[in-house]
Copies of this chain bind each other. A is one copy, B any other.
Amino acid sequence: MTERTGGKTSAGVDPLMLGRAIADADRRAAHALNLVPSENRISPLASVPLGSDFSNRYFFNTAGDPMFWEFRGGEDIAHIEALGAGALRRMASARYCNVRPISGMSAMILTVAALSAPGSTVVSVDQESGGHYATPALLTRLGRRSRLLGCENGRVDTSELADALAPGDVDLVYVDVQNCVRVPDFGTMSDVVRRVSPATRLYVDASHYLGLVLGGLVENPLACGADAFGGSTHKSFPGPHKGVVFTDAEDIDESLRSAQFDLVSSHHFAETLALSLAALEVEHRIGDYARTTNDNARRLAAALADAGFRVHGDSGTGYTDTHQVWVALEGPAAAYALSNRLAEAGIRVNLQSSMPGMPGVHLRLGSNEITFEGAGPQAVEELAAALVTARERPLGPRTVSGIRARFGPPFYTDPEKLRVEAGLCTC
């Protein structure tokens, strides 16, 4: 046990002390303010299944069929997956909801496999326009032809889209815009697809703005003519790291189920239960959560712009229609100095090397998590002030607790209530 690994010997590594380091870092994380648009903080209730024995188990018997208990242990809670899917369906106004993908990328692989054939062409949005970095390479690796489309401020060039569809070999238009302050215009895209290539499927990967769609702030892709939409469940929607796909079409639901059987197998039961609890817990306030998330993003953007930060967008259009706020910085050194000072104080920001229409290093901020935790106007103003200060000097040790003191009630159930009313351990 003295073999070397990266300069350390395994004899010098005590797994207990590593476990303790993780627990210590977790305690610090509990107080941190996260401004990362691709992350959210799962609620104490929704996190109950994550460390449970169900993280060790397979589970396929959602219907509770007494003759389908190949894998046991979930008998008393089998109905919870369907209850959660019901809540998601209601929020999405969708007839079908597939909760089997185990991540956003798993949902992407699943939908590409289900809705396009090998050898066909799949149209997606180029990265410079906010498209997901991985889509073109993923498509090529899966034997599809990738064709990219520009998208500016949520508008695609309709003649460019029509040209892409004209050859008749496009099985799927996969709208994968992730980095956006303006949501793509699904309705226009759908009109072009229906007119030029009616057999082509239109899918919206709404990973980043899923919570905003479910909350009614962003137009529902299905209502705009998309065949299906979905994505990861842990960005503007406050769920675990999982994926979900919605559709109104029975044949598409069937295609997804068939592909899921071949490509997913176990759908990570603990996370699926967590997604159910997250959905049922937030369902009656998802509209308020989505609206407040965008209100906070606009307020944060305005406050930073007023203080001299170069913020994407302008006050006339409220800077952003989503949870994202983009702030250009003066090169990597200044960016890391700012990010480090903020991290030192417990404020965690996301650095990106460029954003659509704004080259160079950026803050890609998200209001989704602080909103879930209860941030309102006052907290956002103080947070903006902290970012302004951190450009120049370190922040005081009570900065985060001061901001947290301004928080209102969160959008999740109080841990004390979980303890008292349901006897749940939330240590």
Q: Are A138 and B263 in contact (CB under 8 A)?
A: yes
Mark out the residues of chain A between 1 and 51 whose CB falls within 8 Å of any chain B CB in the assembled complex.
1, 3, 5-6, 8, 10, 13, 15-26, 29-30, 32, 34, 36, 38-42, 45, 47-51
Q: Which residue of B77, B263, B423 contacts A25 across the interface (Cβ within 8 Å)?
A: B77
B-side contacts of A105, CB under 8 Å: 263-266
B-side contacts of A291, CB under 8 Å: none
Cβ-based interface call for A199 (8 A): no
* Contact mask for chain A residues 142-173; partner B; CB cutoff 8 A; 1 contact, 0 none: 11100000000000000000000000000000
B-side contacts of A144, CB under 8 Å: 143
Cβ-based interface call for A196 (8 A): no
Q: How large is the interface on A (under 10, 10 to 19, 20 to 34, 35 or more residues)?
A: 35 or more
Cβ-based interface call for A268 (8 A): yes
Cβ-based interface call for A54 (8 A): yes
Q: Are B72 and A339 in contact (CB under 8 A)?
A: yes
Mark out the residues of chain A between 207 and 231 whose CB falls within 8 Å of any chain B CB in the assembled complex.
none
Q: Copy number of this protein in the oligomer?
A: 2
* Contact mask for chain A residues 252-284; partner B; CB cutoff 8 A; 1 contact, 0 none: 000000010111111010100100110011011
Interface residues of A (CB under 8 A from B): 1, 3, 5-6, 8, 10, 13, 15-26, 29-30, 32, 34, 36, 38-42, 45, 47-58, 66-67, 69-77, 79-80, 82-83, 86-87, 89-90, 102-106, 109, 113, 118-119, 134, 137-138, 140-144, 234, 240-241, 259, 261-266, 268, 270, 273, 276-277, 280-281, 283-284, 332, 336, 339-340, 343, 348-352, 413, 417-418, 421-425, 427
